[in-house]
Chains A and B, each alone.
Chain A
């Protein structure tokens, strides 16, 4: 699954996003660096307030005031995304990368049938005769598993799962290289979630697009992602191949997070979760942002900010791994 081509599809370098508030700028994303290769499935996991959605919006250049990219670079297929203006971005949008939002109801037009919306989306970026547009949208609906009988339905007539599938169909309309997904399954029930994830994975194998998948549900993404990044308080604290991060989590936050998921198999055992709450991003803790809640904290942690340290194939932002 990991591509062997030399240049990564997406490169994020030291990206910082600030929210401009009355009390001064609040840093929601702090020096995040990551890469996504062709055809790779990268999962970004974190709890509320960790900055994962903000990061996603920044990469897709969808941020609006009062949030803005204050520094850092985003390179996508050789383009410098941060410095491009709206006109230049429009050429890339939907053709080379697309976005699937959390709640389809907010993104779909309630007074248009889904097929028409799909045709509109395709037609906006590619000139095609109307009959071809219709055929293409029907094809896409079939691909994502929406029953033909729903083709001429309005969004409110469809179930949550089907609406999300319609969103995905729209995102794939021009076969982009990268699809960015912001918690597309969180509004769905467990069974619908699973079938949607399977469908996404199947489509990914078929079309070869890369995916950045943001979620708070680690167990969901762990079955499907190639690599996993864990975010806390605006920073990436651990990133590596999913199997490694899962089987052997290194950062104390990741360890704590893993210990927060009760299992339906195996022996029943008490879990501890993680004490405390995520920090106020307006006044982050000194040094390592996790140190007030860390069970393995030592003196250096409150004084200096840790860099990334390598351990096998993982990068971990923790002094425990500084050799």
Chain B
């Protein structure tokens, strides 16, 4: 990866590829007659443009994987909609339309050991994807294209790799095959669900660099889902922080890291071990964990762990507010500093 591959500011005229509108997904717990619902995500409004890598960061249970699966069509939304280039995805009926969408917005999965079928050669998924999404290609054309795809993801010599079985490849190589499968569909936006979490540390960088290269060379946007803020910073333009099914904060990645507005973001940043930072003094140990959101009421879901919580936080669910240029947070207590002078306010008096 070169300096040219580093995240850049998206073009001013970049079109919007995908937008979620109040996207909601609830899971019923128990049998048919149960009234207990697990709130996977509630009221999510996200947008992704061309030439953009958006990182969706959160701990387990925050809903980030649920969003990916909603966008990919694996889950059906309980409420809300997903717009692809302005058109509702829920309305897609014919197989051709659905296939078209699946090709434009494919997904790359987390588990390099489970994402490839062990009984077929690694080229199987790529060939199938080509067969389904590139009907214009002949058999010879598919073969050539498969080789080109393997080269594009850094698996050279491509011809050698086509015939291998998954057990013959390392974790990093298998993930690259996953990217090649996604590329086969000529995508606009790739949903990458924790693509490097299960890889060795020294291999992760290679795959992250691949994402940046694909963005620059093939002009593909990414929704990069992860729990690792450091890797999100490395590769993404915008950062969206999720907590317990809601978006807590969203904005340009450097701005969010330098000026975190939501108390959860601040907590997250303070907890990330940074090898280059000096050793910090022990702080108050924090025992609580993110809640399982079952039939929650109104109110901010972070209030139990928040050092700044006020009375309003338990009554009214905070909505995203613009606090800095292009930078929003859903918090009653955070102050706006469009003039760049203030940090997060102290608790307001009731």
Query: Which residues of A are interface residues toward B (Cβ below 8 A)?
Result: 47-48, 145-147, 159-162, 189-195, 198-199, 201-202, 216-220, 222-223, 246, 256-266, 268, 270-275, 277-278
Contact = CB atoms under 8 A, between A and B. Distances in A.
B6 to A, nearest CB: 6
Given A191-B268, A198-B283, A216-B200, A266 B276 contact: yes
19 contacts: A47-B202, A189-B227, A190-B271, A191-B286, A193-B273, A195-B287, A201-B282, A223-B273, A257-B202, A258-B275, A261-B201, A262-B234, A263-B230, A263-B275, A264-B229, A271-B1, A273-B204, A274-B202, A278-B200
Interface in B253-284: 254, 257, 267-277, 279-280, 282-283
A263 B287 contact: no
Contact of B282 (A47, A147, A202): A202
B200 A190 contact: no
B63 interface: no
A159 B273 contact: no
A47 B171 CA distance: 12
A261 to B, nearest CB: 5
Contact of B200 (A48, A268, A271, A275): A48
A264 B200 contact: no
Interface in B133-176: 170-173
Contacts of A265: 274, 276-277
Nearest to B203: A273
A45 B267 CA distance: 26
B280 A268 contact: no
Nearest to B58: A189
Nearest to B200: A47
Interface of B: 1-3, 5-7, 59-60, 170-173, 200-206, 208-209, 227-231, 233-234, 254, 257, 267-277, 279-280, 282-283, 285-287, 289-290
Nearest to B289: A159
Residue with the highest number of chain B CB atoms closer than 10 Å, among A257, A266, A271, A278: A271
Contacts of B171: 48
Contact of B273 (A147, A194, A277): A194
Contacts of A256: 202
Contacts of A162: 287, 289
A162, A192, A216, A264 interface centre (most CB from chain B within 10 Å): A264
A263 B274 CA distance: 6
A262 B230 contact: yes
B165 to A, nearest CB: 16
Contacts of B209: 270-271, 273
A222 B275 contact: yes
Given A189-B60, A217-B273, A264-B274, A270 B202 contact: no
Nearest to B2: A270
Given A189-B59, A189-B289, A190-B268, A268 B203 contact: no
Contact of B234 (A194, A219, A223, A268): A268
Nearest to B60: A189
Contacts of B5: 270
Given A47-B202, A223-B280, A262-B230, A277 B274 contact: no
Nearest to A243: B279
A217 B201 contact: yes
A47 B198 CA distance: 11
A216 B201 contact: yes
A145 B173 CA distance: 42
A278 to B, nearest CB: 8
A160 B59 CA distance: 12
Nearest to B287: A145
Contacts of B170: 277
A268 B6 contact: yes
Nearest to B235: A262
A222 B231 CA distance: 18
B57 to A, nearest CB: 10
Nearest to B61: A189
Q: Which of B1, B5, B200, B269 counts the most A-chain CB atoms under 10 A from its CB?
A: B200
A147 B205 contact: no
B6 A264 contact: no
A309 to B, nearest CB: 23
B59 A246 contact: no
A221 to B, nearest CB: 8
The 4 A-B residue pairs whose C-beta atoms are closest, nearest first, are: A273-B205, A262-B234, A189-B59, A219-B275
A246 B202 contact: no
A16 to B, nearest CB: 24
A258 B280 CA distance: 19
Contacts of B230: 261-264
Contacts of B2: 270
Contacts of A261: 201, 230, 275
Given A260-B204, A271-B205, A190 B227 contact: yes
B203 A277 contact: yes
Contacts of B275: 218-219, 222, 246, 258, 261, 263
Given A193-B273, A258-B275, A271-B209, 17 more contacts: A160-B289, A161-B289, A190-B59, A191-B271, A194-B273, A195-B271, A201-B282, A257-B201, A262-B230, A263-B230, A263-B233, A264-B229, A265-B274, A268-B7, A273-B205, A274-B203, A277-B172
A161 B287 contact: yes
A262 B202 contact: no
Contacts of B282: 198, 201-202
A145 B233 CA distance: 32
